Amino acid sequence: MTVWFFLVPWILVGIGVIFVAFHGGGAGARQAYLTRGSRFFQISMIVIYLGVGLAVPAIILSARHDAQGATSKLQTKSASSSLQKGKTLFRQTCASCHTLAAVNARGVTGPDLDRIGLSNTAASVKRIESAIRIGGTGQRRMPAGVLQGPNAVAVAQFVAAVAGQ
């Protein structure tokens, strides 16, 4: 279905190009459209262009849903409420420093969480919770306790679930 939303506008553009080509270029096509075109043709062209210009983007935007992440493996997976909470909190508090492809975060000061060997295991969740609690590895490069309690757990679960994917 998504393929059709991509193809239909290009097919309509192709029809428009053919119309212009058969009527002697831009000026000739404009003249044919304004003078020789039937009223039905003029109205249908306006409806088609408005439909493509408004309907297609609206359909695409309405078809979006809350996925776990932005990478191709994660776009089709729906996030649980806990993971969605962790995703939101990560964007608010961590994305400015850390890189994580799942949320299109491109931080420059913190480590790239996609490359530090995290997996969706209890050990990785505990490792991330510990880093949040003590401030990274304890070398004061990251503020300690930036998130606490259930918020820290939600971010840890989210990062463990999506890092490296």
Q: Residue ranges per domain, the chain? A: 2-62, 81-162
Give mean pLDDT, residues 63-76.
57
In angstroms, what CA-CA distances link 18 with 11, 12, 23, 81, 93? 11, 10, 9, 50, 52
Q: pLDDT confidence of 84, banded at 50, 70, 90? A: confident
The CATH class that applies to domain 81-162 reads mainly alpha
State the pTM of this model. Answer: 0.56
Tokens of 162: 């999506």
Q: Which of the residue ranges 32-41, 126-135, 139-148 would you say has the lowest mean pLDDT? A: 32-41
Select the more confidently predicted residue: 104 or 58.
104
Structure tokens at 13: 């553009």
Helices (H), 23-148: 25-31, 39-50, 56-62, 81-93, 122-134
Burial bucket for residue 79 (CB in 10 Å: 0-12, 13-18, 19+): buried
Cβ count within 10 A of residue 127 = 17
